[in-house]
Structure 1
Amino acid sequence: MKTFNKKINIKAVIIATACVIIFGSCNTDDILEKTPVTEITSENAFNTEEDVLASLTAVYDPLQWQFVNGAHTFPQMFQSIRSDDEHSQQAAFWAIGANFDQFNTILPNNASVAGVWSKWYQGISRANFTIELANEFQNFETAGLKERIIGEAKFLRGLYYFELVRLFGGVPIFTEAITSTEDQLFKPRASVVQVYDQIEEDLKEAIQLLPRKGETDPWRATSGAALGILAKAHLYQKEYPEVVKYTEAIMTQGIYSLEENFGDNFKLNNEFGKESLFEINYVDGLVGGGFETPTPIQEGSGSWKFMFMFIDSYESFGNMLPRRSLVEFFDDSDTRKEATFILPGSRTFSPGLAERGWDPAPASFPFAIGNDAMSRKYFLTFEEVQGLLSPFQSPLNEKILRYADVLLMHAEASLLGGGGDGMSSFQQVVDRAYGAGNPAAPAYDLQGIKDERRRELATEGWNRFTDLVRWGDVKEAVEAVGKSFTVNRDELLPIPSVEIALYPPGMLKQNLGY
């Protein structure tokens, strides 16, 4: 009997990617400029298990896309810069990033807004195709492979819709593959409730079909990852008993635990560690050139290139910088502070730079905006940078969901009436950060949980802005750092004008205020 774990044939991946018809993003290239399509089916395009696996691999691919249709789509743009955590850059050269420092410059014609919409809808389209393909394919030889493929595709579809609903509100729901020009290409926006219903349906099915961590390739979706995103979906709907139920299902698996050293979560030699539920898998050098390619073909991350100073051999851009107020939000006794930021004078900056005069770090960073820190979580040491096959492609993975997030979700939901021992969960996160008995540690109350979520997940790019929105704290928080916020407008991104223009007139409604 064949095993499920196997290396994917790269040629098959390329063939499958080329075969997937992507209408979910509704780009002009997708609809108006393609050679007429007759039909793509499992009978005429996919003949082996590896072909179907290649189709599944293509569903993961959009997770890596930090540049789509000519615009950056880093998650930090929509969560960290848009909130009170980060400023776009050290100077005034990254125009599209600067748009996210204020709200009146986030407009329907913003290329990055269109890019992130397209990115997640392309992933959804690929997931739909793979689910249909796996259901129709008749030549499976590996026991359980069909179910796992469907489970992974449904997990990813649920994750992608979760990103869309948090950023845009209600969005069109596509759950069937578009393999023919006769298929339905346009749908009106569903309600937020309907989108969450679809997310829950996908993730519940994925939980039943997916293996646990350690039983499959480390980069693949697992039942624990599906439980975690499902818990977060319920958290955003304030359904606290369900949050407790699903976070405790993760906790009782006995697989996950906190890293003893917080900073180990972000080390190149500790990817897929014991705290990781799901992360974006990057490798260096499989694709030539940088991450800003004309097409979203990417293997390595561009995060290190964006986040650090242009010094010596670090030819990076100084973008997505922690605000001074975020740095000062950490107590000096909090061990996460040194692991989250590169601070002036830091003696753990990068040992390989010592002989070049850059270790310890400079006494100050020459940032025009007055910031005095850089993000460490995506930092590569001098030796790691020197070893890259492509200087624009970092192999350092990026965490989407960690066990600390699960514990904090459990603590919050428990405190708000969901049941369970939330104090114990909260204390695990706090004790690792401050050490047991430290008087600087926050109390177990709602404000303490909010503060710890900010500190624990700072600069990772997946939570801050939408956390503020769901708490009702967003206006106060962003105005404290000098932004102007319009209630009932700025909580959501605008629906991209390019998408509205492609839809039948009046079908795709714009968000309020845009």
Structure 2
Amino acid sequence: MYINRLILITVVVLFASCAEIDDLEPVTEINADTAFNTEEDVLASLNAAYDPLQWQSVLGQNTFPLLSQGVRADDLHSQSASFWAIGAQWDQFSTIIPSLPSVAALWSKWYRAVGRANFTIELAENFDNYETDGLQQQIVGEARFLRGLYYFELVRLWGGVPLFEEPITSSEQEIFKPRSTAAEVYALIESDLQAAANVLPDKGGERVQGSATSGAALGLLTKVYLYQQKWSDAVTSAERVMNQGVYSLEEDFRNNFLQTSEFGPESLFEINYQDGLFAGGFVNTNQQQEGSAMWRWSFPFLSGTYPSFNNFIPRQDLVDFFDDSDQRKAATFLLPGQVLNSPGLATLGFDPVPDNFGYAIGVNTGAKKYFLTFEEVQELLNVEGSPLNEKILRYAEVLLMHAEASLMGGGGDGQASFQQITDRAYGPGNLAAPAYTIQGVRDERRRELATEGWNRFTDLVRWENLDGGGVIGPALQAIGKTDFSSPRDLLLPIPQQEIDTYPQGMLEQNPGY
């Protein structure tokens, strides 16, 4: 999604979030009648609404989903030692406090994204100069999908949050709103995703490659139902995805994470990256990220021509959680002795993978789903970029959600969905495959989605709430995290700067902070 930069400069005044209240006061009042003359202008606004998905840094602070999901949980060490302050802060609970700048940055990221989606919805609904049939409902559908996705991130990280359903385009508008309940936030998300699913095309008919489809909306809606324990609704929504007939599992699990097979049969929605469109670093304040920096963050450090960072290191407990017969293990981790087929890395002594990485934490593995070979790195126009996409939602997750909701009483043949996952992972008839039970589904969900960055911590939280306790605490204690406190650490703190900016007493803090 690459927008006309001149249009963005005009519009950006209006895209601020409630995270920067001062920015909500427009320099001038701009409306669709004076600033947007063509349907291409409206599409530029929509493209700007996609853009926050690429932001790995906001206000100079890293906002990787892996921090709030994998590092905060039991899947990842933040780094091979203690040289990255932000990573270390997310790797323990005592430092995740209301004044933590990276918490404020994450809040800002998703609210700025909401602001852009809101602006596009209002603009597209009121614009009169369309030349392409059906484009208006397409744009509104995509923007509502994005708003649903952005609010879903907010509600599962913070609980009930202030709901802004209209863009701030005038200084006369209400810019302070109290927190809505989680149920109210989820109701808006459901409405947005249902509306999007009803108007967006199936995969294969999308507006441009990477734009939202009905399958993406239904897949995310399934997840939203799952988080609310609406089991029958989750089964129905998952089956709508399955019955579209345009999705299937990749036969080779590795194909989900290669540049040569992006937007494959398993992909419902992914962040579409391109290399070299922005020449700056990813730790910046203008959020013009176009390429992913994940290869640098998640590969062992090799000096000179392969300058990576030793961050997002899989915990040995996670590696050991995989059976050796599981094909996902070699696709998820860099393992000692593994051949990477990269002659350039071989010259650096890293192909095959060495037996000892020399990490201070004593782990000898690395994350592989964002891996680039030496040869791919040499082709990058910007060493901090990568054209390798990030998967937000795969068909495998839809099948696992269908299996889970079915087991919880939602109906449907969840066992058949579960078997598709285990047959691919272990091969048919392999006794290493887990049984179709609640724990079996939870374990497979962890293995299937490990290190991708969008699920682990909030999965533990929802299972904690579902089971009445006894899920997240033991999981964290097993890896030595002893400073977790429930219910405080189930949610992130509302950033203190937000509370201080609001009228006194209007924005309530989460319990325990």
**Structure 2-normalised TM-score?**
0.96
1:88 and 1:321 in contact (8 A); partners too: yes
CA contact (8 A) 2:293 2:385 kept: yes
Q: Which residue of 1 aligns with 2:467?
A: none
Which of 377, 381, 395 does residue 373 from structure 2 map onto?
A: 381
Question: Which residue of the partner structure matches residue 432 of structure 1?
Answer: 424
8 Å CA contact 1:12–1:50 kept in 2: the answer is no
- What is residue 491 of structure 2 aligned with on the other side? 492
Does structure 2 retain, via aligned residues, the 8 Å contact 1:342–1:349?
no
Deviation of the 1:135 alpha carbon: 1.2
Partner residue in 2 for 1:81: 71
SS at 1:76's partner residue? Answer: helix
For each residue in 1:126-145, what CA deviation from the matched residue of structure 2 results, as whole angstroms up to 9, or x when unmatched? 11111111111110010000
Tell me the equivalent position of 2:301.
Answer: 310
> What corresponds to 2:448 in structure 1?
456
| Candidates 32, 37, 52, aligned match of 1:42 | 32
1:509 corresponds in structure 2 to 508
Q: In the alignment, which of 5, 8, 17 is matched to residue 14 of structure 1? A: 8
Offset at 1:351? 4.1
Is residue 350–residue 381 contact of structure 1 (8 Å, CA) maintained in 2?
Answer: yes
Tell me which residue corresponds to 1:289.
280
Amino acid at match of 2:461: V
Structure 1 residue ranges without an equivalent (≥5): 1-6
State the secondary structure of the residue aligned to 1:385.
helix
Q: Say whether the 8 Å CA contact 1:347–1:359 is kept in structure 2.
A: yes
**Aligned counterparts of 1:305 and 1:186: Cα–Cα separation in 2:** 39
Deviates more, 1:362-371 or 1:321-330: 362-371
Cα displacement (A) at 1:289:
1.7
CA deviation after TM superposition for structure 1 residue 12, in Å:
5.0
Q: Which residue of 2 aligns with 1:363?
A: 355
SS in 1 for 2:490: coil
Work out whether 1:241 is the aligned partner of 2:232: yes
The residue that corresponds to 2:143 in the other structure is: 153
- Segment drifting more, 16-25 vs 178-187: 16-25
SS in 1 for 2:184: helix
Matches within 5 A, 1:196-235: 196-216=186-206, 217-235=208-226
Contact kept in structure 2, 1:345 and 1:364, CA below 8 Å: no
1:476: how far off?
1.2
Alignment-mate amino acid for residue 452 of structure 1: E
- Quote the offset at 1:19 in angstroms: 4.8
* SS of the residue 1:310 aligns to: coil
Partners of 2:150 and 2:161 in 1: CA distance:
11
| Structure 2 residue 99 is the aligned partner of structure 1 residue 109 | yes
Other structure's SS at 2:136 match: helix
Aligned positions of 1:175-190 closer than 5 A: 175-190=165-180
1:430 and 1:441 in contact (8 A); partners too:
yes
Deviation at 1:27, TM superposition (A): 4.8
Tell me the distance in 2 between the aligned counterparts of 1:155 and 1:238. Answer: 21
Between the aligned partners of 2:183 and 2:5, the Cα distance in structure 1 is 40
Listed as ranges, the matches of 1:406-445 within 5 Å are 406-445=398-437
Note if 1:24 corresponds to 2:15. Answer: no
Return 347-356 or 116-125, whichever deviates more: 347-356
Moved over 4 A (4+): none
| Amino acid corresponding to residue 14 of structure 2 in structure 1 | V
One-letter amino acid of the counterpart of residue 479, structure 2: V
Counterparts of 1:283 and 1:169, CA distance in 2: 33
Q: Describe the SS at the equivalent of 1:321.
A: strand
Please state how far the C-alpha of 1:365 moved relative to its aligned partner: 0.6
Does the CA contact (< 8 Å) of 1:13 and 1:57 recur in 2? no
Q: How far off is 1:355 after superposition?
A: 3.5
Kept in 2: contact 1:16–1:54 (CA 8 A): no
Query: Which structure 2 segments of 5+ residues have no match?
Result: 465-470
> Which residue identity does 1:421 align to in structure 2?
D
Q: Residues 467-511 of structure 1, C-alpha deviation per residue, up to 9 Å, x if partnerless?
A: 111111111111111112211101000000111111111111100
- Aligned with 1:54 (options 44, 62, 66): 44
Confirm or deny that 1:342 pairs with 2:342.
Answer: no
* CA RMSD across the alignment: 1.4
3-state SS of paired residue (1:188): coil
Sort the Cα spacing of 1:420 and 1:333 in 2 relative to 1 into closer, same or farther, 3 A.
same
Distance 2:347 2:385 in 1: 25
Specify the alignment match of 1:96 in structure 2: 86
Q: Which of the residues 465, 478, 481 maps onto 2:479?
A: 481
Residue identity (%): 60
Q: What secondary structure is seen at the aligned counterpart in 1 of 2:105?
A: helix
Seen in structure 2, the aligned counterparts of structure 1 residues 451 and 16 have a Cα distance that, compared at 3 Å, is farther
Q: How many residues align?
A: 504
